[in-house]
Amino acid sequence: MQISPSILSADFARLADEAAAVPNADWLHVDVMDNHFVPNLTLGLPIVEALLKATSTPIDCHLMIEDPDRWAPAYAEAGAGSVTIHAEAAKAPVRTLRQIRGLGARAGFALNPATDVAPYEGLLGEIDMLLLMTVEPGFGGQRFLDMVLPKIRRARALIERHGGEIWLQVDGGVAADTIERCAEAGADVFVAGSAVYGTGDPARAISDLRALASA
Ligand code: DX5
Ligand code: ZN
Q: Is the pLDDT of residue 173 over 90?
A: yes
What's the distance, Cα to Cα, between the start and end of the chain in Å?
A: 11
Catalytic residue among 34, 60, 128, 171: 171
Quick one: pLDDT at residue 80? Answer: 98
- What average pLDDT does range 66-82 have in this prediction? 98
Count of domains observed in the chain? 1
**Torsion angle in degrees (nearest 10) through CA of 160, 69, 37, 123:** -20
Average pLDDT, the chain: 98
DSSP state of 77: H
Global confidence as pTM: 0.98
Dist. CA 204–CA 209, nearest whole Å: 9
Q: Is 172 in the pocket of ligand 1 (CB under 6 A)?
A: yes
Domain range for 114:
2-214
This model of the complex carries an ipTM of 0.99
pLDDT band at 97 (very low <50, low <70, confident <90, very high): very high
Q: What percent of the chain has pLDDT over 90?
A: 99
Could you tell me which of 3, 26, 6, 35 has the C-alpha nearest to residue 138?
35
Beta bridge partners of 32: 63
CA atoms within a 13 Å half-sphere pointing along the CA-CB vector of 124: 19
Q: Is 179 in the pocket of ligand 1 (CB under 6 A)?
A: no
Is residue 31 annotated as a catalytic residue, yes or no? Answer: yes
Measured N-to-C along each axis, helices 93-102 and 68-78 cross at an angle, to the nearest 10 degrees, of 10
Task: Please enumerate, as own/partner, the contacts of 139-143 that have beta carbons within 8 Å and a separation of 24 or more.
Answer: 139/40, 140/6, 140/8, 140/9, 140/193, 140/194, 141/9, 141/193, 141/194, 141/198, 142/172, 142/173, 143/173
What is the per-residue pLDDT across 192-201, written as a single tens digit (0 to 9) for each? 999 999 999 9
One-letter amino acid for residue 98 of the chain:
R
Q: Is 196 in the pocket of ligand 1 (CB under 6 A)?
A: no
Cβ-based neighbours of 107, under 8 Å, separated by 6 or more: 82, 83, 84, 97, 98, 100, 101, 126, 127, 128, 129
Tell me the CATH number at 195: 3.20.20.70
β-pair type (129-133, 167-171): parallel
What is the per-residue pLDDT across 111-126, written as a single tens digit (0 to 9) for each? 999 999 999 999 999 9
Strands laid side by side in the 28-33 sheet? 2-5, 189-192, 167-171, 129-133, 106-111, 82-86, 59-64, 28-33
Which residue among 9, 129, 171 is best mutated to probe the pocket of ligand 1, counting the most ligand atoms within 8 A of its Cβ? 171
Contact 116, 132 (CB under 8 A): no
Protein residues near ligand 2, an ion, with CB under 5 A = 31, 62, 171
Quick one: pLDDT at residue 164? Answer: 82
- What average pLDDT does range 140-160 have in this prediction? 98
Quick one: pLDDT at residue 206? Answer: 98
pLDDT band at 215 (very low <50, low <70, confident <90, very high): confident
Measured in residues, the chain has a length of 215
